[in-house]
Structure 1
Amino acid sequence: MSAPSVLIAGCGDVGGRLAEQMLAKGWQVYGLRRTIANLPAGVIGVAGDLFNEDCPETWPVGAVDYLVYCAAATDHDEAGYRAAYVQGLRNVLGWLDDYGQVPERLLFVSSSSVYEQQDGGWVDETSAAKASAYSGRVMLEAEQVALGSGIPASVVRLTGIYGPGREWLLTQVRRGYRVAVDPPLYGNRIHADDAAGLLAFLLNADQQGVVLDDCYIGVDDAPAPLAEVVAWLREYLGVTEWAEDASVRRTGSKRCSNARARALGWAPHYPSYREGYGAILAGKA
């Protein structure tokens, strides 16, 4: 039996980590991005622009067993989001159709921005997703494109991704970042390796015949108040001075649950911010 193949459309940070994990499992991996020189070794490059409806010249002509749509918006406005997540996905689905390719499953990488809960309560895949901000609204629209594509599909709503190269909070803490303590502003996060790991886990599960749900939340085990995370980082970094006034966070306050993914057997390598940021600061992640 030939190795299963996966096309990662938008093979950037998380997509590249996913590619490495699938290559290690013996899969054939295609990576679609504008600059294929930056793809991990072993990935078959597909040089193309998701925002352009013209099919890439190096599009694979054989079977594409799985598709992971893992794009990132280059322009952070409504038009930019729609181009990246809605139109880009439609372009890829059109290219598959042009070649008569029907993947076994599509994984669409979405975001927890589709949830606007602000009371600090727990959120899972059955919670209401009613976004008013353009980012969440466009994501919900793109999810419907994926789920209505005719390909068995699952959306994976990732929470705040952090990791090497994604160190905004560390930078802010070093600069004296201060946040409100009461009421607690709960935040959700997942290390980039664990985000890729969840996608890899779902691909393997589907390939082995496990019945997947149409939605999963990608988050670690321990949503925590932002003030708690900041205080821990201050102590770790030895920061002793910070701003007098607390900064107001733009997003809501909620605690996302990973119970559905865990019920399948997935577990994050970095179960909380302590392990994740500790590894980054120790140069191990």
Structure 2
Amino acid sequence: MIFLFAINPVSGGKAKTDWETGIQNHFANSPHRAELFYLDGKTDKITFPRKLNELKPDRVVAVGGDGTIKFVAEQLLGTGLPLGVLPAGSANGMARELGIPPDVEGSLNVLTNGVLKSTDLISVNDKICLHLADIGLNAQLVRHYQQNNLRGKLGYLRGVINVLQKRRLLRVDINRGEDCIPRAAFMIVLANARMYGTGAVINPDGDPFDGQFEVVIFRRLSFWEILKLFWLYKPFDPKKIEILPATSVTIETHRRAFFQIDGEYEGQVMKLKADIQPGALTLIVPGEA
């Protein structure tokens, strides 16, 4: 088989030398072939599809964090090509969800010895979400984090404190078709999985293979609870959240709200339209997953 590795050189703020060396060593005595493609963040939407057409790989692998996985997945929709993941980013939430080992050799072994599994996506305002999308406090934190180019746990804590001082309650109407629910919340998450890339669990029963997603409503957020969730990565108190299963939902806000998908800030919105796309993407996962 031909494996095409899409490498994000700046994902996680670290060089990918160890990953590149690991890929080369892993395939040195293998019947399979590895091709490396470096993303530049500027021309990828043109050059990466061109590379796919020229090489015609059997499997494609995203080397980076959740943002890199999302970009590569978008290019593979409708092709039937399986997507593998090497968790080389600062946020590797999807890799954690799939049970992919964090080390180089362990994750490479999954690519050649793992199994193929059809995975759900969420279509949110005509964009795809593999993992988690949200409006409110976390999206505001993502915006602050990206605008100020913060790094590391200390940078994240600074971002949490800054955003916490500016937090505002959202008033929303949540329509799942059969009901319309008014709510007041600091944050609302559309969850195709269980946890954020940091490891903070916000949707304990989430499953990207079950044909549905969850609407997670954070009704209360104290300073300590935010630190526990976003900095210490502890599970949130289930008594202070509400979880609604859905296959389709429309969320309308009474004022513009910060919005993010899979760790990428998408601007401010007053309406979200989300639908599940069952089995839309084929992933390479560990055999025991």
Q: TM-score, normalised by structure 2?
A: 0.32
Which has the larger strand fraction? 2
Q: TM-score, normalised by structure 1?
A: 0.32
